[in-house]
Amino acid sequence: MELRALGSTGIKVSPLGLGTVKIGRDEQVKYPTDFKIPDDQAVRELLDLAWELGINTLDTAPAYGNSEERLGQLLPHRNDWVIVGKVGEIFENGQSRFDFSAAYTRRSVERSLQRLGRDMIDVVLVHSDGNDMDIIHNEAVCDTLQQLKHEGLVKAVGMSTKTVEGGVWCAENMDVVMATYNPVYTEELPVLERAAELGKGVLIKKGLQSGHAHSAAGGSGVEQALRFVFEQPVHSVVVGTINPQHLRQNVAIVERVLGK
């Protein structure tokens, strides 16, 4: 897969990114089938395969159980990957809670750096609780991320938004926006269009409807879903899988869709 410039960040991402929630957390997840968290050897093999197939972009978060720690321990070519991390959501004792304060945001990024074994995280996104504009106007997280970027701990900042208004604000004021877009949910299309107008980075979450796009789950199929998403000005679609066969199939589909 040919890497794509992530807006004006100076970062190049693979059009297919690998989501890593399934290597760290199996509670309170919304997938059509149950799964077992893979052991270290299986994770190493999955990451090796992803690298061989041309994937350079990984999506993780403190809320993804011990995903960050496992990546820090098991990731091959550690400093060559593009890591998309997050702040704001904490998952403990089977429940999510949120903290968007300046102190917690800084502590969270510093802890993620330690867990990942890196001096800088490529992209850090605000992990929205759904109240995008309240976070933007009444919390310190966005300003704190900009400060951490100025200090060199983060290269690019943005938000994983849940509303059109929040996504458009993010496109206008930050470096990267992560939005939801798939064949059955197109409400956030204005976010993608505004980001494209401004030359900002666009990451897509739930492009396969958290697995529900698969024909086996009653969806229209992976290829149709990815074709639909890549008709829009997006840079990378994050898909979480721990199945090597699915990973190979997804990469083949993306290459076919993009004509590579």
Query: Model's pTM, two decimal places?
Result: 0.94
pLDDT recorded at residue 82: 98
pLDDT recorded at residue 19: 97
Which 3-state string (H, E, C) describes the chain? Answer: CCCEECCCCCCEECCEEEECHHHCCCCCCCCCCCCCCCCHHHHHHHHHHHHHCCCCEEECCCCCCCHHHHHHHHCCCHHHCEEEEEECEEEECCEEEECCCHHHHHHHHHHHHHHHCCCCEEEEEEECCCCHHHHHHHCCHHHHHHHHHHCCCEEEEEEECCCHHHHHHHHHHCCEEEEECECCECCCHHHHHHHHHHCCEEEEECCCHHHCCCHHHCCCCHHHHHHHHHCCCCCEEEEECCCHHHHHHHHHHHHHHHCC
pLDDT recorded at residue 92: 86
Among residues 90, 118, 94, 93, which one has the least CA distance to residue 104? 90
Spans of the chain, pLDDT less than 70: 32, 212, 215-220, 260
pLDDT recorded at residue 32: 66
Residue 12 pairs with which residues in a beta bridge? 5
- Between CA 183 and CA 8 the distance in angstroms is 28
The CATH number given to 4-258 is 3.20.20.100
Among residues 97, 170, 105, which one has the least CA distance to residue 137? 170
pLDDT recorded at residue 35: 86
pLDDT recorded at residue 93: 83
Sign of CA dihedral 241, 244, 250, 251: positive
pLDDT recorded at residue 25: 83
pLDDT digit string (tens) for 75-97? 987 789 999 999 999 998 888 99
Those residues whose C-beta lies under 8 Å from the C-beta of residue 92, and which sit 6 or more positions away, are none
pLDDT digit string (tens) for 182-214? 999 999 999 999 999 999 999 999 999 877 677
